[in-house]
Amino acid sequence: MAQTSKEKNFVSCVIYLHNDAETVKPFLANICQVMQDNFEKYEIVCVNDGCTDNTVERIHAFLEEQEQLKAVSLINLSFYQGVETAMNAGGDLAVGDFLFEFDKCSLDFDPALIMQVYRRALEGYDVVSAAPKHGVALSSRLFYALYNWSSHFRYHIRQERFRIVSRRAVNRVNQMNVYVPYRKAMYMNCGLKTDTIIYDNSAAVHKTRNREERGNRSGLAVDTLIIFTDVLEKFSMLVSMILLGFLIVMFGWIIYSIFSTVRPVEGWLSLMALMSFGFFMLSVMMTLIFKYLAVLLNMNFKKQRYVVEGVEKLAK
């Protein structure tokens, strides 16, 4: 590509890294190549989310080999904090007009897709995602189905590999919230135009996700469903309906026993059973309310979103 046709926009690439020693070098090489070929000015922000392998050494090694690389920074989180928190840190450090967010250091897409996504953004979409067609875990599919069913937002979400976000959308999301628990949902609901490009990744489907990550994700899934959807209300409504049903049955039974000649002492037993069941349901409700409150607290008061050990400038 000729020098003159390079894009003038300043883009930032935020790359999430968690024990990605195997993939980090080719991944960075590909991203940097695309950036080098297409953009006049760009920066790379790597977020090291508590890597315990030699991912960071690999990055340093990669940069040693690179002559042309302009600006690369590395955020070292103090300990493992999960992809959402880590990417928030990366996004806060990035300065570009557009932000590429690579949630996973895995190259199951054609590097040309990056520019395809970028060009789509230029058509007037503030958020454009690249979503893999295959290899989405069942649990994830279930989550997205539940989410999309119970949220009232314009755009549906799905599993994404990376996305581009305009500075405008980032500002909007930061204006709307103190705490960003789940970026994807935020971007989709910030009121700006969004789009998704689905790519065929059937050639490179692999499921590697550690257990830590899975625990983190399921906690996140619950938070997200509670914050962004009315699934909780629907659920508590359902519980109340069941309780109501039992009450009606109970009431019917009392009326029946008044007119019936049978006055069993056993009635006490069933009454007790019913009462304990009722209390159980109440406690379920309480748990949910507490959870709800916890999330509200988090959104309103939690100021420090991540714990950073330090920011390194790796190359210029």
Partner 1 sequence: MTRTSESKSDKLIIGAGLYGLYAALYCGKKGQKVTVLEIEEAPFTRATYINQARVHMGYHYPRSLSTAMKSAGYFKRFVEDYGFCIHDKFQQIYATSAHFSWTDAQEFRKFCKSAEIPCMDLPAGQYFKSGVCDGAFLTEEYTYDAHILRDYLLEEIGRLPNVELQFGREIHRIVKQSDCYEIYAHYEAAEETYRAPFVLNATYASVNQVLRRVEGIETQDFGLKYELCEIILCKVDERLKGIGLTVMDGPFFSIMPFGKTGYHSLTSVTFTPHKTSYEATPQFPCVKEGICSDYWLGNCNQCAKRPESAWEYMSALARKYMRDDYPFTYESSLFSMKPILKASEIDDSRPTVIKRLETDEAAPTTFISVLSGKINTVYDLDTFLDERGSQST
Nearer to partner 1 (CB atom), residue 8 or residue 211: 8
Nearest distance, CB of residue 196 and partner 1, angstroms: 26
Contact residues for partner 1 (CB under 8 A)? 10, 40-41, 43, 70-71, 73, 89, 92-93, 95-97, 167, 171, 174-175, 305, 308, 311, 313, 316
Nearest distance, CB of residue 306 and partner 1, angstroms: 9
Nearer to partner 1 (CB atom), residue 98 or residue 102: 98
Nearer to partner 1 (CB atom), residue 40 or residue 108: 40
Amino acid at the residue 219: G
Nearest distance, CB of residue 93 and partner 1, angstroms: 6
Nearer to partner 1 (CB atom), residue 52 or residue 68: 68
Nearest distance, CB of residue 32 and partner 1, angstroms: 16
Nearest distance, CB of residue 308 and partner 1, angstroms: 7
Neighbours of 148 (CB within 10 A): 14
Nearest distance, CB of residue 164 and partner 1, angstroms: 16
Nearer to partner 1 (CB atom), residue 4 or residue 261: 4
Nearer to partner 1 (CB atom), residue 22 or residue 97: 97
Nearest distance, CB of residue 52 and partner 1, angstroms: 24
d(CA 189, CA 184) in angstroms, rounded, equals 9
Determine contact, residues 49/17, Cβ cutoff 8 Å. yes
Nearer to partner 1 (CB atom), residue 147 or residue 306: 306
